[in-house]
Structure formats: structure tokens, C-alpha cells
Amino acid sequence: MRFLLLLITMAVCLTACDHRQPSSSILSDAEVQKKLAGTWRGKGEYGVCTFVVASNGDYAAQTVFTKAALKRPNDIRNLSTEGTWIIKDGVLIATCTKSNASNAPLYLPMIDRLTIVRLDDRELVTRYDGQRPEIFEMVYQRVMK
């Protein structure tokens, strides 16, 4: 199974599906990049994900999985990842370059794409491109700017 940084990191942060429509004000890529910088946290049945997005294009994420989320005895409970990110045409493109997962060297660098459904000063909602929103739509709250 392909180890995807954001799929794992953000999937654990899955919360209830949010069917609100995207914000009526369309932000430019530069505005999204500026607004995205900060610390975000999502909590779901699989654990808690906290990620820090730097304005220079770097990110670091820490995910703590619940025991219920761990399927194999050697699954990692605390996943740490680092990499770079950009916004292009409203899509967050994240490239993972470092991970503490034992199988990470097989997959690095990993690139994932997430559509930004909504972004404001307090909330970030992302959706994996081409996937069903009720499964892959993620909601995060801003912790710090």
C-alpha cells in the first residue's frame, strides 16, 4: 500500500462531513498561501493531527493515532512528517521529504494534492482530489498564526 503523507496524517483528523458550500469569495493562490501559514489541528476517531505550515513553504506534522487506528503490532503510534508545500490553482501540493515511519524511505519523496474547499482565519477544510467528500473531506481548526 502506498504510504501517503497527507492521506495518513490528514485521514486521522477526519471529522464529520461538512456539506457547506465553498466560500463565495475566491482567494488567489498568494492569498491562500498567506492565510494557510500557522498551526492547525484536527481531531477524529483515528487520532489527533497537528501541523505547522510555515510561510516559507515548509511544513511539519505530528499525528498521534488512537489504539483503535493501529491495525498491526508494528504500526507507528506517533507519526512525524516534514516537507514542503505550495498552492497552485487552489490546490495544496505537499511533498513529504522526511518521516519517522519505517517504510518511508521506500516512498520518499511523496507528493499529495488536496483541494482547499474553505479557508478562513479559524478553519481549513480540504478534500483529496477525485475522492468522495464524505470520506476524504477534512476539517481543521487554527491553533496559532
Which sequence spans correspond to the domains of the chain? 5-144
Higher pLDDT, 24 or 85: 85
pLDDT tens, position by position, 39-74: 999 887 778 889 999 999 999 999 888 877 777 776
Q: What is the pLDDT of residue 27?
A: 85
107 with 49: CB under 8 angstroms? Answer: no
Higher pLDDT, 137 or 87: 87
The helix or strand, by DSSP H or E, that contains position 123, with its residue range, turns out to be strand 123-128
pLDDT tens, position by position, 86-133: 999 989 999 999 999 877 677 789 888 888 989 999 999 888 765 544
pLDDT tens, position by position, 11-31: 444 333 334 444 435 889 999
Q: Cis omega before residue 109 (within 30°)?
A: yes
Query: The pTM is what?
Result: 0.73
Q: What is the pLDDT of residue 137?
A: 75
49 with 12: CB under 8 angstroms? Answer: yes
Q: Where are the alpha helices (DSSP H) in 1-145?
A: 5-11, 29-36, 133-136
Amino acid at 108: L
When the candidates are 2.40.128.280, 1.10.3210.10, 1.25.40.340, 2.30.30.190, the CATH number that belongs to 5-144 is 2.40.128.280
105's CB contacts (< 8 A; 6+ apart) are none
